[in-house]
Amino acid sequence: MTASLPSFADYEPFRIWRADPAQWLPIAHDIARSHGLACTTPQVFATGTNLVMALDDILILKIFPPFLRSQFVSERGSLAQLRGQLRIAIPETVVEGERDGWPYLVITRLPGVLGADAWPSLPEADKERVLAEIGETIVEVQRVPAGPLASIEPGWNAFMRRQIEGCRARHTRLGLPQKFLDGLDDLLRDAAALTALDGPPVTLTGEYIPENFLLSRDGSGWRLAGLIDFGDVMTGMREYDLLGPSAFMTAGMPRRVRSLFEGFGYSAADITPDLKRRLMALMLLHRASDPVRHICIEGWQEKASDLFELQDLLWPI
């Protein structure tokens, strides 16, 4: 008899349990069998938040613990809302269901090389091209009407209020150097105005980072081929989705930054001090914000003496 999925109140005990696939693979196999899906050569994905396994080469099974049901709702809703609306590929939902209170999705597996594997060795010209395509894709996603995604909680204003309230404690705990913490109160004083919506909220993934996209190579080089992982989708200010590439990929290099922003529809003239200040606020208020570990500019803590210098280092246009 197949074991039942256990109950977890929060993430840490779940993370420890998930790290031993022997505890949940039989259940994943049983879910696949219950839908008549082949699973002769399963592949467990150790990274990520939920239980994720490839069913042979064409399908992915994602199982969400009950306390992360919101990620299931976001992923299911995003795949439905964006289906057929983008030039690049996204997964399609094949099956959805629930086992022991844990919702799950079976989605198509996209071809391509995971960005995290390919990005470090890409030629510089290809990195600039991919960043431009990421900027274009962000715009494409945001042009699709949010529809039911607009009801995902928390809404932008509530989310920002919560992030502002916890910002100083978060970055103190994560080890942001004191010289940057010293400027945080001034930034937070303006944060509500800096991050207020000036139009309808748009669909945000919050995570245009190498772990969440696929690349392919043709005669002209590497290109963006697909997007995966929509579990953190929300709606809000459109520039929020520039933060992932800015932290993990542009490395403060002017041509890379320009490529990303031009793809997004911004010219060099648009990259004003006011925009940089807004982006700096959004970066520090981002759901996954951790500059110490995420900003991919070598020696950035020594190169900037305060948050103003840091924003110029990140967006040197």
Look at residue 49 in the predicted model and tell me its pLDDT: 87
Residue 92 has pLDDT above 80, yes or no: yes
Q: Is the pLDDT of residue 1 over 60?
A: no
Share of the chain above pLDDT 90, in %: 90
pLDDT digits (tens, 9 = 90+) for 99-155: 999 999 999 999 999 999 999 999 999 999 999 999 999 999 999 999 999 999 999
3-state SS, residue 22: helix
| 2 pLDDT tier (thresholds 50, 70, 90) | low
Per DSSP bridges, beta strands 221-227 and 59-63 are unpaired
pLDDT tens per residue, range 206-219? 889 999 999 999 98
Q: Given pLDDT bands bounded at 50, 70 and 90, which one contains residue 198?
A: confident
The answer to pTM > 0.75 is yes
pLDDT-derived band at 190, boundaries 50, 70, 90:
very high
Q: Looking at residue 174, what is its pLDDT?
A: 97
**What secondary structure letter does DSSP report for 242?**
G
At 308, is the pLDDT very low, low, confident or very high (cuts 50, 70, 90)?
very high
pLDDT of 10 over the 80 cut: yes
What pLDDT is stored for residue 57 in this prediction?
Answer: 81
Instruction: Report angle CA 300, 303, 307 to the nearest 5 degrees.
Output: 80
Question: What CA–CA distance (Å, rounded) separates 106 from 54?
Answer: 9
Q: What would the pLDDT profile of 35-53 be if each residue is shown by its tens digit?
A: 999 888 888 987 778 999 9
What's the confidence (pLDDT) of residue 41? 83
Q: How far is CA 222 from the centre of its chain?
A: 21
Domains in the chain, CATH or no CATH each:
11-108 (3.30.200.20), 113-314 (3.90.1200.10)
Q: Is the pLDDT of residue 9 over 90?
A: no
Number of alpha carbons in the 13 Å side-chain half-sphere of residue 225: 16
Question: What pLDDT is recorded for position 188?
Answer: 95
H or E segment to which residue 279 belongs: helix 273-285
Instruction: Please give the span between the terminal C-alpha atoms of the chain, in angstroms, as a whole number.
Output: 62
Question: Residue 209: its pLDDT value, please?
Answer: 95
Distance CA 28, CA 67 (A): 19
> Per residue in 54-84, pLDDT tens?
998 899 999 999 999 999 999 999 999 999 9
Kindly report the average pLDDT of the chain as a whole number: 94
